[in-house]
Amino acid sequence: MVGCVPVGGGAPVAVQSMTCTRTGDAAATLAQVRALVAAGCELVRVSLPTAEEAPAFARLVREAPAPIIADIHYDWRLALAAIDAGAAGIRINPGTMAEKHVREIVRAAAGPAEVPVAIRIGVNAGSLPRDLRERAEREPAAALVEAALRWAARFDEWDFSAYKLSVKSSSVPVTLEAYRLLAARTDAPLHVGVTEAGTVWSGTIKSAVGIGALLAEGIGDTVRVSLTGDPVEEVRVAWKILAALDLRRRGPEVISCPTCGRTEVDIVGLAEEVERRLAGDAALAGSVITVAVMGCRVNGPEEARHADYGIAAGAGEGVLFDHGERVEALPEGQLVDALLARIRAAGA
Ligand code: SF4
């Protein structure tokens, strides 16, 4: 459990993201946490870079509508401060700390509480133990996995099982190999992602390929899409990856035709408008309907019939479908409004 969110053990794959505001600015960070949660983020990671920001972090923990995970680098005392502040989880790279300090963190995380503070053991190539560095030159994935498993063994010795592992890389092939190796050797929950994936456009593609391939193989219990951009986009992309694999759905899915020489209307504009208005309707956030937007009278009606709702548009007009039934023909300008009104009226 990370707070109230189960991770691993057959639980649904949980969606994570990370704030990019200054943690010391509690109001701004809380606003971003709320925006992330509204988009479907279930676990929110927040950096705790200095002790001065601990009071703001504690406020976040108290007021945030989702479990907060502290992101800790190097300074083990900040991990203790985060645990003191009530963090649901902490993410550490134990390779950057002395083992005796990692032990202190684990002791504090185990605590007296019924639900321990979860710890992510996040290994990366920059902090491998000396004896694995040479191997990392030849076998980067295997070296990451070895380092992660050594720490997992330590945690097991310390009788602490509330941990998950990550072995991210900015290389998709290395990420795939590392997680496959890791999954073959441990039952611990895995946090999956491609790190430093890039800007929203290119990072989305790298993440979809890397995370998607792993999830398709049943590897991964929680995901974070790392994008250089608004973290809300990370959450949206993560949900799209889960939906594409039919693992989880959140909100309506739009199917739209790629357009071709038969298209007689602005199907790109229509599809974008439908997607934007559906995504912006908070009442539909829990809906799992499929909506088709098709561009002609040849293939369009058939495809639209297979969706929960659909429109098949022709020259200046189109037909509205509701669960396979043709409802009515309408002028092009009225199609989207009629479609949305019908979906809302059904409370889908
Ligand atoms: Fe072309 Fe019609 Fe297919 Fe769209 S639905 S790609 S317009 S044939």
Residue 204 CB contacts under 8 Å (≥ 6 apart), including other chains: 197, 225, 227, 233, 237
Which residue has the CA at smallest separation from atom 6 of ligand 1? Answer: 259
pLDDT at residue 58, rounded to an integer: 97
Assign 223 to helix, strand or coil.
strand
pLDDT at residue 348, rounded to an integer: 56
103 & 227 share domain: yes
Q: How far is it, in rounded angstroms, from Cα 103 to Cα 278?
A: 49
224 & 145 share domain: yes
Residue 2 in any domain: the answer is no
Which residue has the CA at smallest separation from atom 1 of ligand 1? Answer: 260
pLDDT at residue 316, rounded to an integer: 84
Which residue has the CA at smallest separation from atom 8 of ligand 1? Answer: 299
Rg (CA), the chain: 23
223 & 270 share domain: no
Query: Which of 257, 268, 305, 306 should be mutated for ligand 1, with most atoms under 8 A from CB?
Result: 257
From 24, 20, 48, select the one nearest 33 (Cα to Cα).
20
* Single residue among 244, 269, 301 that ends a domain in this structure: 244
131 & 218 share domain: yes
Residues with CB under 6 A from ligand 1: 257-260, 262-263, 294-296, 298-300
Q: How many residues does the chain have?
A: 348
* Single residue among 244, 271, 306 that ends a domain in this structure: 244
64 & 186 share domain: yes
218 & 296 share domain: no
Q: How far is it, in rounded angstroms, from Cα 267 to Cα 274?
A: 10
pLDDT at residue 26, rounded to an integer: 95
181 & 288 share domain: no
DSSP code for 298: S
Residue 122 in any domain: the answer is yes
* Single residue among 195, 214, 244 that ends a domain in this structure: 244
Residue 187 in any domain: the answer is yes
From 124, 117, 70, select the one nearest 96 (Cα to Cα).
124
118 & 59 share domain: yes
Residue 134 in any domain: the answer is yes
223 & 272 share domain: no
Would you write out the chain's pLDDT as a tens digit for each of its 348 residues?
Answer: 999 999 999 999 999 999 999 999 999 999 999 999 999 999 999 999 999 999 999 999 999 999 999 999 999 999 999 999 999 999 999 989 999 999 999 999 998 878 899 999 999 877 788 889 889 889 999 999 999 999 999 999 999 999 999 998 889 999 999 999 999 999 999 999 998 878 999 999 999 999 999 999 999 999 999 999 999 999 999 999 999 999 999 888 999 988 888 888 888 999 999 999 998 888 888 788 999 999 887 777 787 788 999 999 888 888 999 998 889 999 988 999 999 999 988 875
Give 312 Cα–ligand 1 centroid separation in angstroms.
Answer: 9
123 & 214 share domain: yes
- Domain hosting residue 123, numbered range: 14-244
Q: Do 238 and 208 meet the contact criterion of CB atoms below 8 Å apart?
A: no
DSSP code for 197: -
